[in-house]
Amino acid sequence: MNELPLSGVIVVDLSRALAGPHATMMLGDMGARVIKVEAEGTGDDSRGWGPPFVGAPEDKESTYFLSCNRNKESIELNLKDPPDLHLLKALIARADVLVENFRPGVMDRLGLTAAELEAVNPELVILSITGFGTRGPDSGRAGYDQILQGEAGLMSITGPDSEHPQKVGVPIGDLLAGIYGAFGVVAGLTRRARTGRGGVVRTSLLRSLVSSHTFQGTRWTVAGEVPTALGNQHPSISPYGLFRCADGAVQISVGNQSLWTSFATEFGIDPAQKRFADNGARVMHRSELIEAIETVFAKVSRAELLSRLTRIGVPAGQIRSIDEVYEWDQVLAEGLVIETDHSTLGRIKLPGASVVFDGCTSPVSQPPPILGEHNEAIRAWLAVKNEITKI
């Protein structure tokens, strides 16, 4: 039971930037062997995204690239060069999974249509990630995260109000597409175990963001209500959000009537008064409730508030900066700061894996690779397997 669940699975990673690399990193974290195919001489686009860069000038690495490329090998190929394309097909013949996030049509122009890939390897599971999808009038558009956050409505419900749309602080469209894509790969491998056949799994930034609308989506599709941004307050639950106190702010989540009674009683608010009597009333009178709460909180320190909220069982928390997160004992206890030895940078720390399996060894065994780090090793592996001459 100490073997990672995707041990033995070989993934050919043709993706770059974030959505595809995040998906393949997740697969690598679960034990898959991920072979990252990078453009000769330049590599993944994200190798140039910075500052910050770290390391010596001649060996500088982008911290952006480091964030999403652990547990991978790197080989440089020029896919417009016939010998290199031939070598790629040899890799594909050995692989279980192929991941790509080119614009629609690019794989076809390279001579890597779904039919041609199936001919090379009928058991291959192919993950294709696009920006806007593969059908419809916008399918050919380039899909960058912030553009999709706007187009898919996320920015309209993020920020202080409807006049100031705001992107999420991380590339959430890319990340969700990567997560859903990795899920699709695992589902494809499960189907292959039953049928013996691979197939194409598709997702997109648009699909991932729209499917993540959850209750904000059904507010419109079912109730006919257009959601708008409410800053740090919840549109359907109150009180739920960020509240100012004597020396900063706390966040609280009063998710049911029992918690409301405990909370209101603790802080001297009549829980039964009509305008605050149930959640619907509290949502309708949110501004008045926020004012009442912050009037009480203004006299209380954050530490005392968190202590009192914990004592009465009301979920609460503080706002941590990124550096504070990585020093937090809870994060450290969960193994969410990992260390690995990079080829040029030495010992580095990275954010930890999103999923772990009981009884398995650490899902991080390989640092993010330098460009072309495994050129010779991968070519030698294919030569030993006699795969290059078979294609």
Q: Which residues are catalytic?
A: 174
Which of 70, 96, 76 lies closest to 88 in space, CA to CA?
76
Which of 14, 16, 34 lies closest to 85 in space, CA to CA?
14
Q: Compute how many other C-beta atoms are within 10 angstroms of the C-beta atom of residue 115.
A: 8
Look at phi and psi of residue 364 and say left if phi exceeds 0, alpha if psi is from -120 to 50, else beta.
beta
Which of 335, 289, 96 lies closest to 197 in space, CA to CA?
96
Is the sign of the CA dihedral 169, 174, 180, 183 positive or negative?
A: negative
Gap between the Cα atoms of 229 and 134, Å rounded = 30
Residues in the chain: 391
Which of 317, 295, 307 lies closest to 249 in space, CA to CA?
317
The identity of residue 23, as a single letter, is A
Is the sign of the CA dihedral 262, 263, 267, 270 positive or negative?
A: negative
Residue 282 structure tokens: 């509290």
Residue 31 structure tokens: 């034990």
